[in-house]
Amino acid sequence: MARKAKNDNAPAKRGMDPNVMGLRGEVIDQPITDTLELNFMPYAMSVIVSRAIPEIDGFKPSHRKLLYCMYRMGLLNGARTKSANIVGQTMHYNPHGDAAIYETMVRLTRDNEALNVPFVDSKGNFGKVYSRDMAYAASRYTEAKLAPICAELFRDIDKDTVDFVPNYDNTTTEPSLLPTTFPNVLVSANLGIAVGMASQICGFNLAEVCQTTIELIKNPDHEILSTMPAPDFPTGGEIVYDPGQMAEIYRTGRGSFPVRARWRYVEKEHIIEIYELPYTTTAEAVMDKCRDLIKEGKIKEIADMRDETDLGGLKLAIDIKRGTDPDKLMAKLFRLTPLQDNYPCNFNILIAGSPQVLGVGEILTEWIAWRTECVRRRVYFDMTRKKEKLHLLEGLKAILLDIDRAIRIIRETESEAEVVPNLMIGFGIDEVQAEYVAEIKLRNINREYILKRTEETAALAEEIKDLEDTLSSKRRLRSIITDELKAVLKKYPSPRRTGIVYAREIEDLDEGPEPVDDYPVHVFLSRHGYMKKITPQSLRMSGEQKYKEDDGLGWYWETTNAAELLLFTDKQQAYKVRLSDFADGKASQLGDYLPGALGFDEGESFVTAVLAGDYSGSMLLFFENGKCARLPLSAYATKTNRRRLTGAYSDKSPLVALLPLEGEAEIAVTSAEGRCVVFSSALLAPKTSRTTQGVQVMTVKKHLVVRAQFLTDTAIQNQSRYRVRSIPAAGAKLTDADRGEEQMTFI
């Protein structure tokens, strides 16, 4: 039922959809799906298509508008101008405000060092991409012009190579794409976050991209990794290279790869100097993380650390204590700080207005096809202009035989409007040719001038024929693209900045987990996942253990600080908990909430925990369907520092219980029907796969297994009643005495 507005005679609000508000001000109920379709979807598409995702030329609209405005201002060959002037002029194309325009310009500058190939030749303080706190100066203090390589962005843009569209207020036009002569879409790094999708394209080396494109034009089956082995970043650093991993990223357009800093050791001063950082981090983030690790006592080899970045470039100086091995210290820093980080790839670009995630080969193929069309349009433009010129010269040639007659026709014509028609009749030429003849200056009406002009017709005819052949030949069009790419290679040399180090070469440098202080501890883990690690001395001085109102003790172990726990969840995942990563606590505290500390997935719940020890024992996993799997703990031991293990157990039936097993023991399994089976764990053979369900231990029909315990932990007195020599078995009904339940009596 529609709800009446307060004022029945109030007109409908301007811009309001008629389905939402009636003409008399009535508010109409509208399904949320219609609201999303009418209001949210246009906004989402606008952000995706017109703001956040780069196109095949490698630019977002904000980049393209800024560079084109600078081109129109004559800043490709002219002197630098104030950045504020550029920002103001760009607002004719980009109405999103001066701050956003200037931030866009800063990233494109040479001094900011955010791009492999900067497009803006800058002067002044434009900050640094590797510094979080080094702010750029205001636009009124800095100056800029286009870098020389921008000539490759605007090559023949006035020859109809790309479409032009009206700007936001229809006062001028702007290019929909820039006719770049090289695949800038891969050369320039790009990050965009739209609505429901994102794009993150890493930068590649200009020379490698151009050479790879040339090879692909020659041979579509060219192996890309052979000429373009890995991305290249303006901040340098090193890529920890895995050929298989990189090949998968090149194929799918998704994935990630590790990048780490470059460093050197100054032996005389006992100083480690970090002079190149991963593209994903900043100097301040590295410094902050190192300070935190020093405060927590996880790094004790560093005496002092400072940022000595100056005009010469980045330099983080680390004073190390005597006796410290710099290689081992750096291996630790790579493991614990952003000095080594993963760069995520999501090659999402707009192809003909549609967002697509493409591999490197697919992107280059799309670029070659698009660039071929640009060259074809340019050749067609040149051919059309030459045909027009030839047509005019042919008209001029027609009057060569009788110049005096042409002069007489013009002189004897009474009105100016009749000059062109009379020339058309007198020489049999069309209106365009006659107009051209009529506009010739008096000083040029001589045989020598006309002969020189008409001699061009033969050359023009040959050029036109050659251009027609080019248009009809895909091979010749591709040859033009190849020549342009070779010219870029020669004119703009670009040595590689980011090094490549194979993963197998650095494995031995990592000394593994940091040695920890090993001492006795008592571990209390509540049913809801709160853990307390308490030393024996503190435990003796403590009072009652504190838990939340609806919580309580679930597990207790006496172990050491170097031990590890395995937490199992209802999502078939296991989380590794190093006790040394947690501070010693007290009984009066709630403890550390492990699901939060370990980063459980949304909706994931804690089920049970096992003390891993030295991973020498085994576990029994019981499922509702009556099956049991015996798995060695070593199946959960990892050589890396991973905390999360997926596929920790089978997902075919819910997990009921998990029992750690050091030696053989007798197990009691109970069903919801009240039946019980007692058997020896020796009947269960160990399995190797974590996702196995094992073997059937209890035959269940309608009622599922609800409990599995060590026999010694149960209240069963008549054990022989339930013990079996082979499995599976249906079991026997539990008696009241064996249930361990106290009956209520009336006094």
Q: Which helix (H) or strand (E) holds 58?
A: none
Q: Given 68, 93, 136, 141, which residue is catalytic? A: 141
| Residue 530 is among the residues annotated as catalytic for this protein | no
Output the CA torsion 513→514→520→522 (10° steps): -60
The answer to whether 530 and 594 have CB atoms below 8 angstroms apart is: yes
Pairing of strands 695-696, 655-661: unpaired
The answer to whether 351 and 366 have CB atoms below 8 angstroms apart is: yes
The residue among 48, 350, 351 whose CA lies nearest residue 194 is 48
Q: Is 6 helix (H, G, I), strand (E, B) or coil?
A: coil
- Please identify which residue in the block is written with the tokens 């909430």: 593
Query: Which segments of 500-570 does DSSP mark as H helices, in order?
Result: 503-506, 536-541
Backbone angles phi, psi at 648, to 5 degrees: -70, -25
Q: Is 439 helix (H, G, I), strand (E, B) or coil?
A: coil
- The structure tokens listed for 585 are 């606590």
Pairing of strands 627-632, 675-680: unpaired
The answer to whether 145 and 79 have CB atoms below 8 angstroms apart is: yes
Backbone angles phi, psi at 253, to 5 degrees: 80, 5
Pairing of strands 530-534, 520-526: antiparallel
SS (H, E, C) 265-281: EEHHHCEEEEEECCCCC
Backbone angles phi, psi at 444, to 5 degrees: -95, 0
Distance CA 620, CA 658 (A): 6
Give exposure, 64-76, as e/b (b: 16+ Cβ within 10 Å): bbbbbbbbbbebb
- The structure tokens listed for 537 are 């001395």
- Please identify which residue in the block is written with the tokens 């030429």: 429
Distance CA 85, CA 743 (A): 91
Distance CA 117, CA 107 (A): 11
Cβ contacts of 260-268, under 8 Å, gap ≥ 24: 260/334, 260/339, 260/340, 260/341, 261/237, 261/286, 261/334, 261/339, 261/340, 262/236, 262/237, 262/238, 262/499, 263/330, 265/326
Sheet strands (E) in 128-232: 143-146, 164-166, 173-175, 190-193, 198-201
DSSP 49: I
The answer to whether 533 and 555 have CB atoms below 8 angstroms apart is: no
- Enumerate the β-bridge partners of residue 556: 524
Distance CA 5, CA 674 (A): 64
Q: Is 213 helix (H, G, I), strand (E, B) or coil?
A: helix
- The structure tokens listed for 49 are 């298509």
Distance CA 207, CA 226 (A): 13
Cβ burial of 463 (10 Å; 0-12, 13-18, 19+) is middle
- Enumerate the β-bridge partners of residue 500: 239
- Enumerate the β-bridge partners of residue 351: 354
- The structure tokens listed for 82 are 């104030």
User: So which residues are the catalytic ones?
Assistant: 141
